[in-house]
Chains A and B, each alone.
Chain A
Amino acid sequence: MVQHSLLDILWIITASALVFVMRAGFAMLEAGMVRSKNSINISVKVLTDLGVSLTAFWPLGFGLMFGLSQSGLFGTSLFFPKFDDQWLAVFFLFHAMFASTSATIVSGAVGERIKYSAYMMVTLISLAVIYPVVGHWVWGGSFEGQASGWLAKMGFIDFAGCTVVHSTGGWISLAVLLILGARIGRYNTDGSVNRITGSGLHISVFGTIILWFGWFGFNGGSTLAMNADVPAIILKTSLSGAAGMIVTLLVGWRIRKFPDVALVINGALAGLVGATASCAYISEWSAVIIGGVAGMVMLFAEWLLDKLQIDDAVTAIPVHLGCGIWGTLAVGIFGDPALLKTGLSRLDQIWVQCIGIGAGALWAFGFAFVCIWILNRFFPIRVKPEEEAQGLNVMEHQASTEIFDLYRTLEEQAKTGDLSLRAPVEPFTEVGQIATQYNKVIDNLQTNLVARSEYTNILSNVSDGLFLLDERGQIGPYYSASLESILETKSIAGRELYSVLSPLMTTLVMETLREYVNVLFNGSIDERTLSRLNPLAQVEIFVQQGAEMKSKHVQFLFKRILEGSKVVRLMVLLRDVSQQVELEKTMVAEKQERDSEMDLFYRIIHIDPSLLKEFLESLEDKLDSINQLLEGGQANPGETLNQIFRIAHSLKGESSVLDLKFITDAAHSFEDIVKNLQTKDPLDNSEFISLTFKLGELQETARQITTLLDKISSLQKHIKTPEGTLVSSSKDFSQRLAMLVSQMAGETGKKISFDSAGYVETLIPTSMNRTIQDMVIQLVRNAAVHGIETPEFRKKLEKSETGKIELRTYLENDALIISVADDGKGLEPEVLKYAAIKAGKATEAQTASWTATDLIRFIFAQGVSLAPNVTAHAGRGVGLALVRELSKSLNGKIAVKWKTGMFMNFIVTIPLPKNQL
Chain B
Amino acid sequence: VTEGELKYFIEVVMNYFEQITGSPATMGLPFIRKDEIVVMDFTGIIGISGARKGGIYFTAGKGLLSKLTKAILDVEDPDDQTLLDMVGELCNTIAGNARKNFGSGFMISVPMVVRGKPQDIQMKLKPPVFIIPVSWGGDQGHLVVGLE
Taking the closest CB of chain A, its distance from the CB of B145, in whole angstroms, is 11
Which segment of A411-419, A530-538, A690-698, A718-726 sits at the interface?
A690-698
Say yes or no: A547 contacts B55, CB within 8 Å. Answer: yes
List of B residues within 8 angstroms of A685 by Cβ: 26-30
Say yes or no: A544 contacts B110, CB within 8 Å. Answer: yes
List of B residues within 8 angstroms of A686 by Cβ: 7, 10, 27
A615-666 contacts to B (CB < 8 Å): 627, 630-631, 633-634, 637, 640
Say yes or no: A688 contacts B104, CB within 8 Å. Answer: no
- Cα–Cα, bound, A633→B128 (Å): 20
Say yes or no: A627 contacts B32, CB within 8 Å. Answer: yes
> Taking A547-B45, A700-B128 as contacts, is the C-beta distance between A540 and B50 under 8 angstroms?
yes
Say yes or no: A549 contacts B109, CB within 8 Å. Answer: yes
- Cα–Cα, bound, A546→B34 (Å): 23
List of A residues within 8 angstroms of B104 by Cβ: 506-509, 511
Q: Could you give, for residues 105-131 of chain B, a 1 whenever the CB lies within 8 Å of some chain A CB and a 0 otherwise?
A: 111111110000000000110001011
Taking the closest CB of chain A, its distance from the CB of B103, in whole angstroms, is 7
Taking the closest CB of chain A, its distance from the CB of B141, in whole angstroms, is 14
List of A residues within 8 angstroms of B124 by Cβ: 547-548
Taking the closest CB of chain A, its distance from the CB of B84, in whole angstroms, is 13
User: Is the CB of A699 closer than 8 A to any CB of chain B?
Assistant: yes
Q: Give chain A's interface secondary structure class.
A: helix
User: Is the CB of B87 closer than 8 A to any CB of chain A?
Assistant: no
Say yes or no: B49 contacts A542, CB within 8 Å. Answer: yes
Q: Could you give, for residues 56-75 of chain B, a 1 whenever the CB lies within 8 Å of some chain A CB and a 0 otherwise?
A: 01000000000000000000
List of A residues within 8 angstroms of B79 by Cβ: none
Say yes or no: B55 contacts A548, CB within 8 Å. Answer: yes
Taking the closest CB of chain B, its distance from the CB of A66, in whole angstroms, is 95
Say yes or no: B30 contacts A689, CB within 8 Å. Answer: yes
Say yes or no: B29 contacts A547, CB within 8 Å. Answer: no
List of A residues within 8 angstroms of B110 by Cβ: 544
List of A residues within 8 angstroms of B53 by Cβ: 549, 551
Taking the closest CB of chain A, its distance from the CB of B128, in whole angstroms, is 4
A366-401 contacts to B (CB < 8 Å): none
User: Is the CB of B86 closer than 8 A to any CB of chain A?
Assistant: no
> Taking A547-B55, A547-B109 as contacts, is the C-beta distance between A696 and B29 under 8 angstroms?
no
Closest A residue to B130 using CB positions: A692
Taking the closest CB of chain B, its distance from the CB of A648, in whole angstroms, is 15
- Cα–Cα, bound, A634→B132 (Å): 11
Taking the closest CB of chain A, its distance from the CB of B68, in whole angstroms, is 21
Taking the closest CB of chain A, its distance from the CB of B43, in whole angstroms, is 10
- Cα–Cα, bound, A542→B30 (Å): 31
Taking the closest CB of chain A, its distance from the CB of B121, in whole angstroms, is 9
Closest B residue to A507 using CB positions: B104
> Taking A542-B49, A549-B47, A549-B49 as contacts, is the C-beta distance between A506 and B30 under 8 angstroms?
no
Question: Can you report 16 residue pairs joining A to B where beta carbons are below 8 Å apart?
Answer: A505-B107, A542-B49, A544-B110, A547-B45, A547-B47, A547-B124, A549-B50, A551-B107, A630-B30, A686-B7, A688-B29, A689-B30, A692-B30, A696-B128, A696-B130, A699-B34
A interface residues with partner B (beta carbon < 8 Å):
505-509, 511, 540, 542, 544, 546-551, 627, 630-631, 633-634, 637, 640, 685-686, 688-690, 692-693, 695-696, 699-700
B interface residues with partner A (beta carbon < 8 Å):
3, 6-7, 10, 26-32, 34, 45-51, 53, 55, 57, 103-112, 123-124, 128, 130-131, 133
CB-based closest 9 A-B pairs: A508-B104, A549-B49, A547-B112, A696-B128, A547-B45, A630-B31, A692-B30, A542-B107, A507-B104
Additional A-B contacts beyond A542-B107, A696-B130 (19; CB < 8 A):
A506-B51, A506-B104, A506-B106, A507-B104, A511-B104, A546-B45, A547-B57, A547-B112, A548-B55, A549-B49, A551-B107, A630-B29, A631-B131, A640-B29, A686-B10, A686-B27, A689-B3, A696-B128, A700-B128
